[in-house]
Homo-oligomer: A and B are copies of this chain.
Amino acid sequence: MIQQFWNTANQRDWDSFAALLHPSFHYRVPQTRECVNGRDHFVAFFRTWPGEWNVEITQLIADAHSAVSIIQFLSDEPAMTGISFFDFRDDLICGVTEYWPDPYEPPARATPYVERY
């Protein structure tokens, strides 16, 4: 279901995308305290995302009630890492909570064991 979520988004197949979502779907970005409430509003939010883009799933973990995907969001901008937590209701996706962790310069560390890769 998570793979279908990203695949149908990549294909811009918004009818199939919407069919995965519960009518009371809600979307949250804790870093900005943004939210989108309702399936149709969320589909519009995704459908109108500007420019060319494509999503590649790099990791997927799921248990009976929740799931998380790590994606690379590829566009004209530098690739971004997205971490999306999915909630389910009635065999549909009823919520996504998403994080976009940016690169940053590390602080000084108390041990000499931290290397860079």
Question: A residues engaging B (CB < 8 A)?
Answer: 28-38, 41-42, 44-45, 48-50, 59, 61-63, 66-68, 70, 81, 83, 85, 99-106, 109-111, 113-117
Task: Tell me how many chains of this kind the complex includes.
Answer: 2
Residues of chain B with a CB closer than 8 A to A106's CB: 29, 32, 34
Q: Are B61 and A105 in contact (CB under 8 A)?
A: no
State A105–B101 Cα separation when bound (angstroms): 13
Q: Are B68 and A111 in contact (CB under 8 A)?
A: no
- Distance to closest chain B CB from A93 (angstroms): 15
Closest to A98 in B: B101
Residue in B35, B38, B41, B48 whose CB lies within 8 Å of A110: B48
- Distance to closest chain B CB from A75 (angstroms): 13
Besides A32-B106, A34-B116, A41-B113, 13 more A-B contacts (Cβ < 8 Å) are: A31-B101, A32-B103, A33-B117, A36-B113, A36-B114, A37-B113, A37-B115, A45-B114, A61-B61, A62-B63, A83-B101, A99-B99, A100-B101
Residues of chain B with a CB closer than 8 A to A83's CB: 83, 99, 101
Q: Are B50 and A110 in contact (CB under 8 A)?
A: yes
